[in-house]
Structure 1
Amino acid sequence: MNASRIALVTGANQGLGRALVEGLAARMNPDDLVLLTGRHERRVADAADEVTGLPGTRARVEGRVLDVTDADAVARLADELGARYGGVDIVVSNAVARLLPGESQAERADEFIDVSNTATHAILRSFGPVLRPGGRLLVVASSLGTLGHLDPRLHRLFDGADLDQVEYAVESWRSAVHNGTAVEAGWPVWLNVPSKVAQVAAVRAVAAARREHDLAAGILIASVCPGMVDTDTSRPWFSDFSQAQSPSEAARAVLDLVLAEHADPALYGELVRFGKALPWHDGTPLVEQDGLVTP
């Protein structure tokens, strides 16, 4: 990678995103720059100041306000970094909307889809072209992002799709939720499942189009599953957190992937968990029980 690197993390005020910024700032060099981004100016500024003041921080940390649901804002930031620094070296798309079990999935669908999926598409479209040689672009998803977690009737929408087709599938799902036809069509009630599958499918689509160029340039584009993480967003959904990781623990494997000297071609375009690719077609559709989700 370049001697002076530029890293950017979305959804970085708290939780895993904050832990990723802390880890990057500790493991990168003093002349490197880590951009901590989020929607709320005060929270972003406070978080950046706090990370800067940590004993282990080495790299420069700056807060930047970024609403990832605003595709134009994402594009402007990518263009700015491309013009100012000649590109970026590390991008981690981590933003997620918080959703509680008691809330209406349908009523929260737009916000959830915009933050998780529309934003992922914008990040891939805008930051892919400004990745410098040796760059890394990772989308934080989960093991629920494997295709088998969806009803088989829906597989054709994502398997082998290009990014435009993934976007169309996501908008079709959104419309079905609002029209009350989603369950009939096979979509899970729990928004997180199709959202994660679509995130992974979007990464696979972009990777398929760029693979030859990126492998030659040492670039890695992938989705990542950090495992179960104990955060305010995830805790309400699971009854047993005995095996959950803290955000800093969950960040380690992601950081190892981001900061590896050489990109493993076997991981390119894949959903990676703890350094290994998860099979795209694996998984079993999930069911809801008493407001919680189980296999």
Structure 2
Amino acid sequence: MTEKIALITGANKGIGYETARRLAELGMTVLVGARDEQRGRNAEATLRDGGADARFVQLDVTDAESIARAAEWIGREFGRLDVLVNNAGTATVSRRRATASQTSLDDMRAVFEVNVFGLVAVTNAMLPLLRRAEAARIVNVSSEVGSIGSQTEQGNPLFAMPASAQYPSSKSAVNMLTAMYAKELKDTAIKVNAANPGFTDTDFNDHGGIRSVEEGAEPSVYLATLHADGPSGALWGHLWRSDREGGYGVLPW
């Protein structure tokens, strides 16, 4: 088989871009999924300047027609898909952060549209292509804030952190979807896992994170390149402890 084909949604910047760059370094053809054409093409050009085999794909995870066009193009150009990284996401559309009791329902609906419904729409559209691969990998970029166990464990740094409801609950839904897709595909060579990048310094959090973008991409890259004996149906990534370290491993749901 020729080099692997990887689609990364939201790949024009941040963790998505770094994931695309790292997978390209490993010899994959990376499909730079981006909603905005100019930003996507700029990312494609920068990746190519660095030696990557990168192709821009216009892909808005909230637009069914956009998703269908992307799947049709990938099928026509490559005939299969080896890796899908569902990276596109948002913490808030209104840019208003509030406690659970003050959460905007409109904002919650908008966040779920991207983080949850968009993930399902893209995954379902790409599954026929993933089934054609020898051993495909699906990586759903989640977050430790979606781990109910981490949020409720006294002593965990997340326990004392206030958070609005829309983003954490959307990532809890991503974790459950990961488990459901893994169950459905358990008798195939496709592995489905959720990645926890950790609190990464990106535009996503106004650059308030404590981990570099390079570090934030490591869980996605690891899960995208899992060996046949690797896990499926796990939330895996950075383990945040009180000393802000902890290495990598499986997080509680």
Tell whether the structures are fold-level matches, with TM greater than 0.5. yes
User: Equivalences for 1:275-290 in 2 at 5 Å?
Assistant: 276-280=249-253
Report the counterpart of residue 228 of structure 2 in structure 1: 263
Q: Would you tell me which structure has more helix in proportion to its own residues?
A: 1
Alignment of 1:191 with 2:187, yes or no, is no
SS in 2 for 1:223: strand
Distance 1:150 1:245 in 2: 19
Distance 1:247 1:259 in 2: 19
User: Equivalences for 1:74-223 in 2 at 5 Å?
Assistant: 74-99=67-92, 100-102=95-97, 105-131=104-130, 132-148=133-149, 189-213=164-188, 217=189, 219-223=190-194
**What is the TM-score normalised by the length of structure 2?**
0.80
Q: Aligned partner of 1:220: which letter?
A: K
List per-residue Cα deviations over 1:218-269 (Å, max 9, x = no partner).
x221111111101121247x6xx4xx11112221232133224x1334x201
Distance 1:92 1:116 in 2: 13
Distance 1:110 1:143 in 2: 21
Alignment of 1:14 with 2:10, yes or no, is no
Check conservation: 2:195, 2:223, Cα contact below 8 A: no
Pick which of 127-136 and 73-82 moved more. Answer: 73-82
SS in 2 for 1:227: coil
Alignment of 1:62 with 2:55, yes or no, is yes
List per-residue Cα deviations over 1:132-159 (Å, max 9, x = no partner).
12211101001222344789xxxxxxxx
Distance 1:228 1:67 in 2: 25
Report the counterpart of residue 288 of structure 1 in structure 2: none
Question: In 2 relative to 1, CA 150–120 (structure 1 residues): closer, same or farther, beyond 3 Å?
Answer: farther
SS in 1 for 2:3: coil
Check conservation: 1:150, 1:193, Cα contact below 8 A: no
Please tell me whether Structure 1 or Structure 2 has the larger radius of gyration of its CA atoms: 1
Check conservation: 1:52, 1:60, Cα contact below 8 A: yes
Distance 1:125 1:197 in 2: 19
Unaligned stretches of 5+ residues in structure 1: 152-187, 281-295
Displacement of 1:124 in angstroms is 2.1
**What is the TM-score normalised by the length of structure 1?**
0.69
CA RMSD, aligned part only? Answer: 2.4
Give the paired residue count: 226
Q: Aligned partner of 2:215: which letter?
A: E
Check conservation: 2:150, 2:252, Cα contact below 8 A: no
Check conservation: 2:196, 2:219, Cα contact below 8 A: no
Check conservation: 2:8, 2:31, Cα contact below 8 A: yes
SS in 1 for 2:127: helix
Question: In 2 relative to 1, CA 85–12 (structure 1 residues): closer, same or farther, beyond 3 Å?
Answer: same
Alignment of 1:272 with 2:248, yes or no, is no
List per-residue Cα deviations over 1:18-71 (Å, max 9, x = no partner).
11111112221xxx42111111111111111111112xx3x4111111111113
Percent of aligned positions that are identical: 29
Alignment of 1:232 with 2:203, yes or no, is yes
Distance 1:278 1:264 in 2: 19
